[in-house]
A and B are shown apart, each in its own frame.
Chain A
Amino acid sequence: MSETAGVPAEKKTGTPVLELRGITMRFGGVVAINGLNLAINEGEIFALIGPNGAGKTTVFNVVTGVYRPTEGQVVFAGSRIDGKKRYQVTKRGVARTFQNVRLFHNMSALENVMVGADAHHRTGLAGAALGLPWHRREERDGRAKAEELLEFVGVARRMEETAKNLPYGDQRRLEIARALATDPKLLLLDEPAAGMNPTEKEELQGLIRKIRDTGRTVLLIEHDMSLIMGISDRIAVLDFGQKIAEGLPAEIQTNQRVIDAYLGVPADAS
């Protein structure tokens, strides 16, 4: 389907930007993640797949600081981020979208993205209240950046509209723009294609590649197999909180354990 799909993982730089070391996450009696080790390399598109309830979203929640893991470490760009505050994790360069779209619904699309852009702004109360020059500059830059990102994801013509009035597919793309505005090294996408029609999915593939090509690493949760197989450099499969397989798309497609636990029928047979 495309050139990048076939690029072997070894061709990437190979330094891990994100490492999960022995992560276990328990909620009372529920073990959502069990001793997970995972290394995501810089510049790759890495997919996390598995049946519902396997613990995929929980991995995102642990990485972004929503939960502190019961055991294990999260290392991002060489330093530990587990236990850090959520906004600090974002400032260090991890941004995400949500499985259920969580935009600021009553703000305009542009404002939504500007909130993301503010993550690296330094204006305090005084600067804002007195309208100091650097505040104005940040405000201008933030706006320009937001407009550019809305253009990038393809929602620019609706930027003045209230977020909740956008069609579903645009809301998902807006969420991506908002996350990109925080200038992440690593972007986490939680089922970005959910609810999209085939054309939109096609565009989304292109968008994810474009994001990777701007030098970011993408970690992706998705159920749509053709999308996954089309763009992923590598794939890990979770089942009941454990990693049951990891490898290149072709390896995953033919892995017997994965077929039993998740794929059901071999993907190339369908």
Chain B
Amino acid sequence: MNDTTNRNPLSRARDGYSSFFDTLRDRWATAPRWARWVVYLVLIVLAILLPADGVGSFMSPYTDWPTLLFFPIGGYILLAIGLNVVVGQAGLLDLGYVAFFAIGGYAMAIFGTKMHMSFWEILVVGVLLSAVSGIILGAPTLRLRGDYLAIVTLGFGEIVRIVANNTDYIGGPRGIGGIPHPPSLSEWTIPDNGFFDAIGIGGVQPLKYGALDGKPYYYLMLLLIVAAIIFAKRLENSRVGRAWASIREDEDAAELMGVPTFKFKLAAFAIGAAIGGAGGVVYASQSVSIIPTNFPFILSATILAAVVLGGSGNLPGVILGAFLVAWIPERIRGLQEYRVLVFGGVLVLLMIFRPEGLLPSRRRKAELAEGEGGMGGLGAEVGGPVTVAAGEVGE
């Protein structure tokens, strides 16, 4: 019965961790409504206090902590939430997700500098534009399955960047400078008294978007993240989420049970794209100038790594994954040229420790264990039933 005791320490640690989080998840699943709201509230308060100097001195000794919280940390989290809709929920492998981030960024830059639209208008336009480009990319390609879709999206990511690089109207390789910041909503200052000073946010103007203080941008990002979480979570718990899950499990059977699979896959693509676009708009509004190399393939890969590492399909996991992937390289800046090596090593270790991700959803975990998973679970469908034909001919 107790064969776990003989196993190596790694497996034991893994089992311990696993059962701890299983318990936690079950508790959460059965927790009463008010208890959940208390947890949400605590999390939001913590998130608001996060940029405090005291936290920053430990978390980020090398870089300005609030700016880091805005991007990459906040930015990666938002992008990971968006990509998780595509990869984790609908099971479609998108290797060019950065394209939508770029489209949002360029929307902010172009409409901000050339048409003098305000940030809030551009946020709406940018999100719509990204969603439409998601549909344009998805409409012809979502009929492809697995590996083919991955290749086409990879190409799309590259095409967007290369087009930006070669279009003089948007600055070519020099990009676009002088992007306006969001208009300040209020000059209101958090009182500089003992209490707020003690918790580290005294004297902050949270709604004034200037050049120096990173905190207001972080709060803006936080707002988008919370909105994206609510949006994604509601979809997950509705017929839309059920349809995505059924597509992931057996696309042919889903279609035969009345699920218009193509429409739902397209919707996942559009929603993922819209969230990525929102990230791009906010990112560009803070950074004054953007260039095509802000949107490399490696960013798509990193966000995908965040999703997989954290636990594809499970929002808390995905957020944790994005946080780690964004934060670790900054935290170990002191290692200088060994930084990337150590970061890579940490990722490898985490995947050995938790191949199913740090906080996977129960269903996802099962899919991976079945071996329909791996990249298959992400859309490559290795070993799964390829068509009804193949599934039905045999006895």
Q: Which residues of A contact B (CB under 8 A)?
A: 52, 57, 61, 64, 66-67, 85-87, 90-91, 95-96, 98-100, 102-107, 111, 114-116, 118-121, 123, 125, 128-131, 135, 138-139, 142, 162, 164, 178-179, 182
**A100-B394, A162-B366 known; A121+B239 contact, CB < 8 A:** yes
16 contacts between A and B (CB under 8 A): A61-B389, A87-B261, A90-B257, A95-B256, A104-B245, A104-B249, A105-B250, A106-B370, A111-B245, A114-B242, A115-B246, A115-B257, A115-B259, A125-B235, A139-B239, A182-B258
- Residue from B242, B253, B363 within 8 A of A98 (CB atoms): B253
In the bound complex, do residue B258 and residue A116 qualify as a contact, i.e. CB atoms below 8 Å apart? yes
Collect the chain A residues with CB atoms within 8 Å of residue B242's CB. 107, 111, 114-115, 118
- Residue from B231, B249, B367 within 8 A of A129 (CB atoms): B231
CB distance from A111 to the nearest CB of B (A): 6
Q: Which of B234, B258, B260, B370 neighbours the largest number of chain A CB atoms within 10 Å of its CB?
A: B258
Collect the chain B residues with CB atoms within 8 Å of residue A107's CB. 242, 245-246, 249, 363
Q: Is B240 interfacial (CB-CB < 8 Å)?
A: yes
In the bound complex, do residue A96 and residue B256 qualify as a contact, i.e. CB atoms below 8 Å apart? yes
Q: How many angstroms from the CA of A193 to the CA of B154 in the assembled complex?
A: 46
Q: How many angstroms from the CA of A258 to the CA of B275 in the assembled complex?
A: 62
In the bound complex, do residue A105 and residue B249 qualify as a contact, i.e. CB atoms below 8 Å apart? yes
Q: How many angstroms from the CA of A52 to the CA of B395 in the assembled complex?
A: 8
In the bound complex, do residue B239 and residue A142 qualify as a contact, i.e. CB atoms below 8 Å apart? yes
User: Which single residue of chain A is at the shortest CB-CB distance from B239?
Assistant: A118
In the bound complex, do residue A125 and residue B253 qualify as a contact, i.e. CB atoms below 8 Å apart? no
Q: Is B255 interfacial (CB-CB < 8 Å)?
A: yes
Q: Which residues of B contact A (CB under 8 A)?
A: 231, 234-235, 238-240, 242-243, 245-246, 249-250, 252-261, 267, 271, 363, 366-367, 370, 385, 388-389, 391-395
- Shortest beta-carbon contacts, A-B, top 4: A119-B258, A128-B238, A90-B258, A104-B249
CB distance from B295 to the nearest CB of A (A): 27
In the bound complex, do residue A102 and residue B385 qualify as a contact, i.e. CB atoms below 8 Å apart? yes
Q: How many angstroms from the CA of A87 to the CA of B243 in the assembled complex?
A: 12
Collect the chain A residues with CB atoms within 8 Å of residue B260's CB. 85, 87
User: Which single residue of chain B is at the shortest CB-CB distance from A104?
Assistant: B249
In the bound complex, do residue B271 and residue A125 qualify as a contact, i.e. CB atoms below 8 Å apart? yes
- Residue from B231, B257, B261, B267 within 8 A of A116 (CB atoms): B257
In the bound complex, do residue A131 and residue B253 qualify as a contact, i.e. CB atoms below 8 Å apart? no
In the bound complex, do residue A115 and residue B234 qualify as a contact, i.e. CB atoms below 8 Å apart? no
CB distance from B194 to the nearest CB of A (A): 42
In the bound complex, do residue B245 and residue A128 qualify as a contact, i.e. CB atoms below 8 Å apart? no
User: Which single residue of chain A is at the shortest CB-CB distance from B268?
Assistant: A125
Q: Which of B231, B240, B389 neighbours the largest number of chain A CB atoms within 10 Å of its CB?
A: B240
Q: How many angstroms from the CA of A142 to the CA of B242 in the assembled complex?
A: 12
In the bound complex, do residue B246 and residue A91 qualify as a contact, i.e. CB atoms below 8 Å apart? no
Collect the chain A residues with CB atoms within 8 Å of residue B239's CB. 114, 118, 121, 123, 128, 138-139, 142
- Residue from B235, B253, B261, B370 within 8 A of A102 (CB atoms): B253
CB distance from B307 to the nearest CB of A (A): 18
Collect the chain B residues with CB atoms within 8 Å of residue A162's CB. 363, 366
Collect the chain A residues with CB atoms within 8 Å of residue B271's CB. 125
Q: How many angstroms from the CA of A96 to the CA of B391 in the assembled complex?
A: 15
Collect the chain B residues with CB atoms within 8 Å of residue A116's CB. 257-258
In the bound complex, do residue A99 and residue B238 qualify as a contact, i.e. CB atoms below 8 Å apart? no
Task: Knowing that A95-B257, A104-B253, A105-B370 touch, tell me 16 more A-B residue pairs with CB under 8 angstroms.
Answer: A86-B256, A98-B391, A104-B246, A106-B245, A114-B239, A115-B259, A118-B239, A118-B258, A119-B258, A119-B259, A128-B234, A128-B235, A128-B238, A131-B234, A142-B239, A162-B366
**A52-B395, A115-B243, A162-B366 known; A87+B238 contact, CB < 8 A:** no
Q: How many angstroms from the CA of A103 to the CA of B257 in the assembled complex?
A: 10
User: Which single residue of chain A is at the shortest CB-CB distance from B393?
Assistant: A57
Collect the chain A residues with CB atoms within 8 Å of residue B243's CB. 115, 118
Collect the chain B residues with CB atoms within 8 Å of residue A142's CB. 239
Collect the chain B residues with CB atoms within 8 Å of residue A95's CB. 256-257
Collect the chain B residues with CB atoms within 8 Å of residue A135's CB. 238
Q: Which of A61, A129, A130, A131 neighbours the largest number of chain B CB atoms within 10 Å of its CB?
A: A129
Q: How many angstroms from the CA of A225 to the CA of B257 in the assembled complex?
A: 29
Collect the chain A residues with CB atoms within 8 Å of residue B385's CB. 102
Collect the chain A residues with CB atoms within 8 Å of residue B249's CB. 104-107
Collect the chain A residues with CB atoms within 8 Å of residue B245's CB. 104, 106-107, 111
Q: How many angstroms from the CA of A114 to the CA of B389 in the assembled complex?
A: 25
Q: How many angstroms from the CA of A131 to the CA of B238 in the assembled complex?
A: 9
CB distance from A82 to the nearest CB of B (A): 15
Collect the chain A residues with CB atoms within 8 Å of residue B388's CB. 61, 66
CB distance from B247 to the nearest CB of A (A): 9
Q: How many angstroms from the CA of A269 to the CA of B393 in the assembled complex?
A: 32
Q: How many angstroms from the CA of A86 to the CA of B258 in the assembled complex?
A: 7
In the bound complex, do residue A179 and residue B257 qualify as a contact, i.e. CB atoms below 8 Å apart? yes
In the bound complex, do residue A123 and residue B253 qualify as a contact, i.e. CB atoms below 8 Å apart? no
User: Which single residue of chain A is at the shortest CB-CB distance from B373?
Assistant: A106
Collect the chain B residues with CB atoms within 8 Å of residue A105's CB. 249-250, 370
Q: How many angstroms from the CA of A95 to the CA of B257 in the assembled complex?
A: 7
Collect the chain B residues with CB atoms within 8 Å of residue A67's CB. 389
Q: How many angstroms from the CA of A135 to the CA of B235 in the assembled complex?
A: 11
**A52-B395, A114-B242, A139-B239 known; A129+B234 contact, CB < 8 A:** yes
CB distance from A268 to the nearest CB of B (A): 28
Collect the chain B residues with CB atoms within 8 Å of residue A66's CB. 252, 256, 388-389, 392
Collect the chain A residues with CB atoms within 8 Å of residue B256's CB. 64, 66, 86-87, 90, 95-96
In the bound complex, do residue B255 and residue A106 qualify as a contact, i.e. CB atoms below 8 Å apart? no
